[in-house]
Amino acid sequence: MGRVLRTGLVGFGWINAKVWLPRLRAHPHFEVVGVHDPLLTASAGSTGSAGSAGAAAAAGLPPDTIAARLPDLLARDLDLAVVGTPNHLHERTAGAALDAGVATLIEKPLCLSTAELDRLNARSWATGAPFQISRPSPRRLDVARLQYLVRQMCAGPVQVRAEWLRAAGVPRPGSWFTRRDEAGGGALLDLGWHLAEVAQGLLPGSQRTGLTAELREPAPDAARGAARWRGDSPAAGGQDPDTGVFDVETDGRLRAHYRDGSVLSLRAAWASEVTVDTTTIEVRGTTADGERCRLELVTTFGFSPNRVTRPVLRVWRGSRSTEWSVETVPGKEYDDQLDATLAMVRRSAPWRVELRGTAEVLGLLEDAYRIAGRPLLPGTPARTTGGTRC
């Protein structure tokens, strides 16, 4: 069966505590041997939040699991670090793990610029430690089925429309999520990253030739659209949802054109006109026989309980149509991610190939924000293409 991987959690917020910890514990090949999050060791008075130490106890983490400093965690003979820190800290925290020679699974967005990715790459080459982004959405069974059908049916360029629209799902208004200096961007980065990864598997892979993007300001009452299903306490992290900074978009769009004629239209919104949180992936193209074809997946990505009740995959070819029900267990794609991570740590998966795809997703979003006039990292110079050696 192979050695059980000694795993450390870097950050103990929602994703690591609610998504990764239970899955790592349930997986026979992983063992959580340590956690580092400044909130776990800060005194309640200094942070204004007493919630996290309580969260660690509630998660059944023995006190000796908690490492006061990141180097203390990395010194625990780790095989894997799982990075779930705010976006602007991914390079710093993941980079420290790579410097220590520890394989690293990094939450999305992998980082906020191609320059950051290049530096992570250099640190990975220096110690030989592999890294990958968590990319659960392309691992979904309904997405895999859509991708298979698109490859079977569509010849030549395609038009892809990828949308993830929440009715009211702003992650913790007033926290780092809604601060541009810490999150980089809003909904287009947060949800759009998943969509861009999925779209990447549907497009024929031609060179991008054009891009437009639009970021919509949050509505004045955006804080009330909080994603309550995350179960965050209103004051988690000490921010006030009504007075905290909110300078990222709640609704963002991009449109990319490719040399072969393919087009990607992507929209991601934390709060929008829909009443049910809905993810739609539509692909239009032409079959090898010259017939028009259209494939459409309508479901809900992620963990929101406000879900599409009957997820469906529809296919139209010429005048014929077919429809399949595509029920999925929410979160199964995260279990599959862990299997992929196991393969990365064991060097039995081409993780650098996957990383090249991640570099393209990062480049698309990085360019979109720059074109919209709000670069993910303020002051970032224009990107030169093809700079990342993955």
Ligand X SMILES: NC(=O)c1ccc[n+]([C@@H]2O[C@H](COP(=O)([O-])OP(=O)(O)OC[C@H]3O[C@@H](n4cnc5c(N)ncnc54)[C@H](O)[C@@H]3O)[C@@H](O)[C@H]2O)c1
By the 8 A CB rule, do 169 and 304 touch? yes
Q: Taking CB under 6 A as the rule, does residue 12 contact ligand X?
A: yes
Least distance to ligand X, CB of residue 72, Å? 12
Segment contacting ligand X (CB under 6 A): 7-15, 26-34, 119-127, 344-352? 7-15
107 binds ligand X (CB under 6 A): yes
Structure tokens at 209: 């030739």
Q: Per DSSP, what are the bridge partners of residue 256? A: 211, 264
| CB-based burial, 240-279: b 16+ in 10 Å, e otherwise | ebeebebebbbbbbbbbebeeebbbbbbbbbbbebeebbb
Q: Residue 178 contacts by C-beta under 8 Å, 6 or more apart in sequence?
A: 170, 171, 172, 186, 218, 244, 245, 246, 247, 248
- Which are the contacts of 228, defined by CB distance < 8 A and separation ≥ 6? none
Q: Minimum distance from CB of 184 to ligand X (Å)?
A: 9
Shortest distance in whole angstroms from residue 280 CB to ligand X: 18
Q: Is 15 in the site for ligand X (CB under 6 A)?
A: yes
Binding to ligand X in span 180-209, by CB under 6 A:
190
3-state secondary structure (DSSP) of residue 329: coil
DSSP assignment of 162-189 equals EEEE-SB-BSSTTSGGG-HHHHSSSHHH
User: Shortest distance, CB of residue 228 to ligand X, whole angstroms?
Assistant: 14
Per-residue x/- marks for ligand X, 294-313, CB under 6 A? --------x-----------
Q: Which of 93, 113, 250, 262 binds ligand X (CB under 6 A)?
A: 93
Question: Any contact of residue 11 with ligand X (CB under 6 A)?
Answer: yes
DSSP state of 351: H
Q: How many residues bind ligand X (CB under 6 A)?
A: 25
Q: How far is the CB of 210 from ligand X (least distance, A)?
A: 28
Question: Among residues 314, 305, 258, 307, which one has the least CA distance to residue 283?
Answer: 314
- Per CB under 6 A, the list member of 34, 84, 95, 357 interacting with ligand X is 84
Is residue 13 near ligand X by the rule CB under 6 A? yes
* Contact set with ligand X (CB under 6 A): 10-16, 36-39, 52, 70, 84-87, 89, 93, 107-108, 134, 136, 190, 302
